[in-house]
Amino acid sequence: LARERHQRVVRDDVSVRARAGFTFDPTLGRCVLFGGAPTTGGTALNDTWTWDGTDWQLLYSIASPPARQ
């Protein structure tokens, strides 16, 4: 994740989802969550969040990959 291409916004309302990508980024020192689908049904998601063990942060990107599950 290129830091200059993302804006971080501290939030705590990451939606419950299924089939999302989740990994640890050692450069950021945070877990990264991407995409997935709402558990209640609906459109695939293309949002990216980081978790530092306390707070979720939504990353806004200039160029985001397409939504996927």
What is the rounded average pLDDT of the residues 49-66? 86
pLDDT for 30 beyond 90 = yes
Residue identified by tokens 């989802």 is: 17
**What residue type is 63 in one-letter code?**
A
What is the rounded average pLDDT of the residues 14-35? 94
pLDDT for 42 beyond 80 = yes
pLDDT for 24 beyond 90 = yes
What is d(CA 5, CA 51) in angstroms, rounded to the nearest whole number? 18
pLDDT for 1 beyond 50 = no
DSSP secondary structure code for residue 13 in this structure: -
- What is the share, in percent, of the chain residues with pLDDT greater than 90? 46
pLDDT for 57 beyond 80 = yes
